[in-house]
Amino acid sequence: MKHRAATLFTALWLALIIASPVSASPLQGLKQVGSGSMDWLFFTLYDATLYSPTGRYQAQQYPVALQIKYHKNIDRDDLVSATQDQWQHLGLNHPEQSKWLAQLSQLWPDVKDGDVLTFVASSPSEGQFFFNNRLLGQIEGGDFANAFIAIWLSEQTSRPDLRQQLIGAL
Q: How far apart are CA 102 and CA 35, in angstroms?
A: 29
Q: Say whether pLDDT at 124 is over 80.
A: yes
Instruction: With a cut of 70, say whether residue 9 has pLDDT above it.
Output: no
Cα gap 58→47, rounded to integer Å: 21
Per-residue model confidence as pLDDT tens digits over 38-75: 998 889 999 999 999 999 999 989 999 999 999 999 99
Q: Is the pLDDT of residue 25 over 90?
A: no
The helix, strand and coil proportions of the chain, stated in percent and rounded to the nearest 5, come to: 35, 30, 35
Rounded to an integer, what distance in angstroms lies between the CA atom of residue 146 and that of residue 116? 21
Predicted pLDDT of residue 23: 54
- Report the Cα–Cα distance between both ends of the chain, in Å, rounded: 68
User: pTM for the full model?
Assistant: 0.84
Instruction: Determine the pLDDT at residue 134.
Output: 97
The SS3 call for residue 92 is coil
**Is the pLDDT assigned to residue 76 strictly greater than 60?**
yes
pLDDT at 92: 92
- Domains belonging to the chain, first-starting first, are 27-166 (3.50.70.10)
